[in-house]
Amino acid sequence: MSQPDVLNQAFELGYTYTRSTGPVIGRFLTELRNRNIVGIKASDGRVVVPPMEYDPNTAEELSEFVEVGQQGEVVSFAWVKEPREAHPMDVPFAWAMIKLDGADVPMIHCVAAASEDAIATGARVQVVWADETIGYMTDIRCFELV
């Protein structure tokens, strides 16, 4: 019997998860839909963004939401030269840890910049909202340099 040609087939495995947010992340996402960013105050007074449900030190339930600024500072970043299909932007961009004004810990998001040289640690950035906000992390389309 002759050996057939190599057999190839595209195959997509999809897990169509719907995740429950819980009350704290639910509040955060609800605020995003309204174009606000909220963090939560921990027992040591730090404002944590995105908010977490339990205190990092005492494990107590947290509930004191704090609105933070829509501008912040790049704490660190990684430049993505060749964005992949799943990435939030289709041109080169930066993943960055951004400490929003009024927050005490940085939050990861993407930063639009003309080139790798245009962004630096300490750079000021501000939120760019999506045209339509739906209560999802991508309501923040990206951050841009101020």
Partner 1 sequence: MSEEQEVVTVVKAPVYLKYNFTAGAAPARFLAQIKKGVLTGQRCPKCSAVYVPPRGSCGGCGVATEEEVVLSNKATVQSFTIVYIPIPNNPIEPPYIIANVVPDGANISFIHLMSECVNEDVHIGARVEAVWKPKEEWDFAMDNIRYYRPIDEPNVPVDQIGKLPVTGLEG
Give the interface with partner 1 as residue ranges (CB under 8 A).
Answer: 1, 3-21, 26-27, 29-31, 33-34, 36, 135-136
In the complex, minimum distance from the CB of residue 34 to partner 1, in angstroms, rounded to a whole number: 6
At 129 the three-state DSSP class reads strand
Nearer Cβ to partner 1, position 26 or 69?
Answer: 26
In the complex, minimum distance from the CB of residue 18 to partner 1, in angstroms, rounded to a whole number: 5
In the complex, minimum distance from the CB of residue 96 to partner 1, in angstroms, rounded to a whole number: 22
In b/e form, how buried is each residue of 103-131, taking b as 16+ CB within 10 angstroms?
bbbbbebbbbbeeeeebeeebebebeeee
Nearer Cβ to partner 1, position 8 or 115?
Answer: 8
In the complex, minimum distance from the CB of residue 126 to partner 1, in angstroms, rounded to a whole number: 22
Do 74 and 122 form a contact (C-beta atoms < 8 A)?
A: yes
Distance of alpha carbon 94 from alpha carbon 143, whole angstroms: 10
Nearer Cβ to partner 1, position 2 or 115?
Answer: 2
Nearer Cβ to partner 1, position 10 or 59?
Answer: 10
Residue 83: CB atoms within 10 A of its CB come to 14
At 30 the three-state DSSP class reads helix
